[in-house]
A and B are shown apart, each in its own frame.
Chain A
Amino acid sequence: MKKADTLGDELRRQGISRRTFLKFCAAMATSMALPASMAPVMADALAATRRQSVIWLSFQECTGCTESILRSYAPSIESLIFDFISLDYHHTLQAAAGRAAEDARDQAMQENWGKYLVIVDGSIPLKDGGIYSTIDGHTNLETLETVAAGAAALISVGTCAAYGGLPMARPNPTGAVGVDEIIKDKPVINLPGCPPIPEVMTGTIASFLTFGRLPEMDRLGRPVAFFGDTIHDRCYRRPLYERGKFARGFDDEGARKGWCLYALGCKGPITYNACATIKWNQGQSFPIQSGHGCLGCSEPRFWDKDSFYKPLSATHWGNAAGLAAAAAAGAAVGAGVAVLSRRHQDTIAKGE
């Protein structure tokens, strides 16, 4: 492989002008809510960096996250990110297979020890020694720990890598956990979503490339730039929520008129993600726009939380039998207390 001095040189060689670069940075700044004046600074910084080595580890996953990042299919501005990085190991994408693939990874690790970026999709099984998912005879846990040791930072892509996701759903047969449950000594950022939004992935990588560190995170380790607001906050149907216009079925008048889906179980109010602003498929649409409530897929344990169709304000209140039993118990205790009180009154009245 011919080695370029800087990313700028490398791209120029490919015929990518600095204007394109600038455009990319303007787009990134916009999507990450950075000040617009940062864009030229980012462009200069990016041009001066070296091509970033990236190792992509796939564990218990469905490849949906990879699909998602690739679904910036047209030569879009975001797809430029693949020109900025050197994806040295990725099961699904690399041409090499078997031993050759593993060797490529080892080589990349050696050459870039302490500097490479690790992207993980999928959860890590811990139960029974982690035997439920292995690659090249190594459990995912071993692989993760080995690779992470030389990483500059880790990015958990998708809800599985971030919080355990579907493999962790009750009863969690494999004992799946997310990356940050295991890796405690390296910076780890979570990009949850099932799958995550491509722009969120590329934006976070770009941010790492330009600033050399992971962006600001919230309490769940997510970049604030993309996960700062709830779906509900940014939803175009929010005014309908405010006006109390709710669809009550998927085929009723409200649904046809595009009213708020809160009553149909939309989890938008408690789901932090950028779906409502960045949207999907090149800004085409997002679940609520196509008439279905948010499932809350970028939140921990979303799968086990609740019925997708139960309104957020409805609760698990128990059942009528339980309350009837409580009433019966109350009546029994009340009657008992009354009898005791009568006796006690008599005792007092007797002056004993």
Chain B
Amino acid sequence: MTDPIIEHAVDMESKRFGLKKPMVRYDTQGEMSDAERVKKAMQHFAKDFGYVAATYMESCVHCGICANACHFYVTTGDPKYTPIWKIEPFKQAYKREAGPFAFFYKLFNLKHKVTVEELEAWQELIYDSCTMCGRCTLACPMSIDIASLVGMARHAMFHAGLVPHELWAVALKAEEEGSPLGANPKVFKERIRWMEDEHEVDMYIDKEQADILVCMSSIEIQKYPKSMADTAKVLNYLGLSWTFHTEGYEATNFGLLSGNLDWQKDMSQKIIDTAIKIKAKTVLLPECGHAYQAMRWHGANMYGQSLPFTVVHISEFLADAVEQGKLKLRTVGKTAAFHDPCQVSRRGGATQAPRKIIEALGIELREPASSGDFNWCCGGGGGVITIHRADELRYKAMELKLKQMDSTRAHLMLTSCSNCRQNFDDSGEHLAWGRKIESLLELVADNLIEDK
């Protein structure tokens, strides 16, 4: 069978970097009976019924407070976007199959068996309307980490073949081609060479040994290639031993986003193996939120043991250099608003890093309401931006986001996540924002004081 999904080409024209809008949607994958789909889903639900998930699913009191934290609920007012509701089938399966009273739930059919119709209906809630930004976790009086539960629910959805068309396709491309969006090793190499010429900066690739393995996301490779040059510029400025590597460069992890744990592991493994191979002490991750989540916090767990190197996000890396006084920066002046990428700040623990850099640039940071750990998500993460079906929803969420950013009346709009950035670009155009968000890394690279 020829899978029609794969035939969709990467859309290089749109501000949003992804697949072209499919003429016909195929939101179910594989040839499976309904019963098989449910069985597959249950198989993977069951793998996630550990203590942590169980505690969370036992704890919910149905207070609905989490709805107030979710950008999708707040902007639409539709109750189905209530975060905890998004894992309802997962919860239902847990109560019936694994909870302490599962026996009674089953015996009296208190929770019926999850049906394929339910799983199909929930596809939109689990994928289109959740960026796994975790803002709801902070709102929940019981501290239920709903974002991680959604991540788990996606495992089952993937194996049941119930992933939104585009997300499934990019995940498959990433697994098969090494990059979700056509940045295969050949393209990667070409673009590095191009940037090297364009920006007159030395860029190392496939060095046999280096202290730092630098990874890039395909968004940057394809859409914001200056990031590659700027990363190189900073690393060279600091005089560090570093390299890109064609065997392990793709930082995005669509295995994580789509819910395929095996693929997630494959994608992380490439970087891990490469880093070990070149004896890297550090893996430097680009301005990409979920890439950070995937490698920094999931990486070792995919590997099955602690990693023999440290994993840092470029903003953490820059902040360290600034703090150690190694990075001399021009005073930019002006005022700026910073959009915290959810996976780096709230769920990554690196909330302070960008603030230190902004301070070092002499920029007055204007924090809008709900920033830092409480930042409103851009609405495009977690794979949402690839799904055309979710566009209207995403634009709605972005309205809230832009209003928040505009409220600061700052000169500069900054972020340190290329996925957020492309969402700002795409939604900003759609909503006629008339402004542009800039990369913190690029701002740093543009303002290095070369005192040599």
Contact = CB atoms under 8 A, between A and B. Distances in A.
A and B touch in the complex (CB under 8 A): yes
Interface of A: 334, 337-338, 341, 344-346, 348-351
A348 B97 contact: yes
Interface of B: 39-40, 42-47, 49, 97-100, 102-103
Nearest to B93: A348
A351 B49 contact: no
B39 A341 contact: no
Contacts of B103: 337
Q: Chain B interface secondary structure, helix, strand, loop or mixed?
A: helix
A351 B102 contact: no
B45 to A, nearest CB: 8
Q: Which of B39, B45, B98 has the most chain A CB within a 10 Å cutoff?
A: B98
B46 A348 contact: yes
Contact of B100 (A338, A344, A348, A350): A338
B47 A351 contact: no
A341 B105 CA distance: 13
Given A351-B39, A351-B40, A345 B47 contact: yes
B79 to A, nearest CB: 31
B218 to A, nearest CB: 32
Contacts of A338: 100
Contact of A344 (B43, B44, B97): B97
Contacts of B46: 344-346, 348-349
Contacts of A345: 46-47, 49, 97-98
Contacts of B42: 348
B400 to A, nearest CB: 40
A345 B44 CA distance: 9
Given A344-B98, A345-B98, A351-B40, 7 more contacts: A337-B100, A337-B103, A344-B97, A344-B102, A348-B42, A349-B46, A350-B43
Contacts of B47: 345, 349
Q: Which of B45, B46, B100, B102 has the most chain A CB within a 10 Å cutoff?
A: B46
A351 B160 CA distance: 12
21 contacts: A334-B100, A337-B102, A338-B100, A341-B49, A341-B98, A341-B99, A341-B100, A341-B102, A344-B97, A344-B102, A345-B46, A345-B49, A345-B97, A346-B46, A348-B45, A349-B43, A349-B46, A349-B47, A350-B43, A351-B39, A351-B40
A13 to B, nearest CB: 81
Nearest to B45: A348
Nearest to B48: A345
Q: 8 tightest CB-CB pairs across the interface, nearest first?
A: A348-B46, A345-B46, A349-B46, A351-B43, A341-B98, A349-B47, A337-B100, A349-B43
Contacts of A337: 100, 102-103
B381 to A, nearest CB: 29
B251 to A, nearest CB: 30
Nearest to B44: A349
Contacts of B49: 341, 345
